[in-house]
A and B are shown apart, each in its own frame.
Chain A
Amino acid sequence: MRLIAENLSGERGGEPVFSGINFSLSNSEALVVTGPNGSGKSTLLRIVAGLLPASGGKARLEGGGEAFVSIASACHYLGHQNAMKPTLSVTENLAFWRDFCGATELGIDDALDAVGLAGIGHLPFGFLSTGQRRRAAIARLLVSHRPLWLLDEPTAGLDKASEKRLSALMTAHCRNGGIIIAATHLPLGINAQELAMGDAAPSWGE
């Protein structure tokens, strides 16, 4: 499987944010996208996922076979928000995403254990702290299998121990043939290529 971006450019609200981004990732490779605020890291991830149209160039997936025909069908997207319902329990949230996404991988208890949230699955998601919410959202990546992880600031709100755990999870995902693209401004502690986005922030409007 190969994820290829060719001459990708993106815009926000009509303003070009970046252009001419090229990369190519095969199995077990990771890409860390770094850069200051406003340099277009999140925009790049959303364009790669297909949530935003690219203003130029193309991102595509090759060799995904019948199960993974496109990037959207092959990826887990972890955005700024955690995509969990505050009134449902953590277990109910995860069970929903597992059933909805299909391709069951880890059990819910095992996934919660892997992110250090064992024993709190029965709590409503809304009761959790910021860091715990982020960890529950990371557990969502583990309950159903997707070869490609698109992570937008995955460490936001995490403490040191949880960051380490996340690095281990990402390393394990790559070792099993997965591909990761992570946007971050902090070192993630994984073996990865680095893509530095524009040095100067193009707009202060955000």
Chain B
Amino acid sequence: MLLHRGASKVLALYLRDLKLSVRAGGGALTGVIFFLAVIVTIPFGVGPDLNLLARIGPAILWTGALLASLLGLDRLFQAEREDGSLDLLVLAGDRHMLALTVLVKCLAHWTASVLPLVIAAPLLGLFMNMDPLGIGATTLTLLVGTPAIAFIGAVGAAVAVALPRGGMLISVLILPLTIPVLIFGVSASYGAVADPDPFLPPFLILAALTLFFAVIGPLAAALALRGGAD
């Protein structure tokens, strides 16, 4: 019963955040457009060498998705702080853990801003002349790995919540932490297409990273939000 009540509360938060991100000014599509811009310009820069494009495809898709998913992270808590909602979310932390609230906000951010990137990835893979198996593997690793970026990003967003132009700072703060996710995501994608390389071990490590940060990220962000109240 208690669990059920808690679940309906955080579901309300999840649905509200989704609603906000698709309403005017929510910025859900900014990431996809940035992702598209990065991937579309690469072939012009690299040149029309189809084999080269296919080879660097997974790495470019992953890098583009990583950078695109950093966009909008700075608003994760800042928007709540500006209209006073953050105080109420922090106060509600005495009823259901603040970390749970943060986790739900991360999931809503991922669904609204990062999942579209994953969905767009197969199409953009075609631009990079990737074969279907490579496209499938990269999309799958993005699906499994990008939540970790949102969870890590929440920590940066919580630390920089009071800074008016915190977006750049957040990216710099969390980029080093996201590098392992990028490395294992790309190596699993390559593992699926390049024969001697394994797919499963890096893919499982990627999944483990996401699970690990799903716990650590919200806890650390909750701590930062409590400490940063003013």
Contacts and interface: CB of A to CB of B under 8 A. Distances in A.
A51 interface: yes
A84 B88 CA distance: 11
Contact of B19 (A69, A80, A88): A88
A92 B85 CA distance: 14
B20 interface: yes
Contacts of B49: none
B83 A79 contact: no
Interface in B85-112: 85, 87-88, 90-95
Contacts of A83: 83-85, 87-88
B8 interface: yes
Contacts of A204: none
Contacts, number: 74
B23 interface: yes
Contact of B12 (A69, A72, A99): A99
19 contacts: A46-B229, A49-B87, A50-B91, A51-B87, A51-B90, A52-B230, A72-B92, A73-B94, A77-B88, A81-B82, A85-B16, A85-B83, A85-B85, A88-B16, A96-B12, A96-B16, A99-B8, A99-B11, A101-B88
Contacts of B162: none
Contacts of A95: 12
Interface in A63-104: 69-70, 72-73, 75, 77, 79-88, 92, 95-97, 99-102
Contacts of A80: 84
Q: Residue among B20, B83, B91, B95 with the most chain A CB within 10 A? A: B91
A52 B94 contact: no
B83 A100 contact: no
Given A82-B83, A83-B84, A100 B94 contact: no
Contacts of A96: 12-13, 16
Contacts of A100: 9, 12-13, 92
A85 B84 CA distance: 10
Q: Would you list the 8 A-B pairs with minimal beta carbon distance, nearest first? A: A81-B84, A99-B12, A72-B94, A73-B94, A87-B23, A83-B84, A83-B85, A96-B16
Contacts of B5: 102
Contacts of B91: 49-51, 72-73, 75, 77
Contacts of A101: 9, 88, 92
B84 A51 contact: no
Interface string B60-96: 0000000000000000000000111101101111110
B23 A69 contact: no
Nearest to A140: B88
B26 interface: yes
B93 A72 contact: yes
Interface string A16-59: 00000000000000000000000000000010011110000000
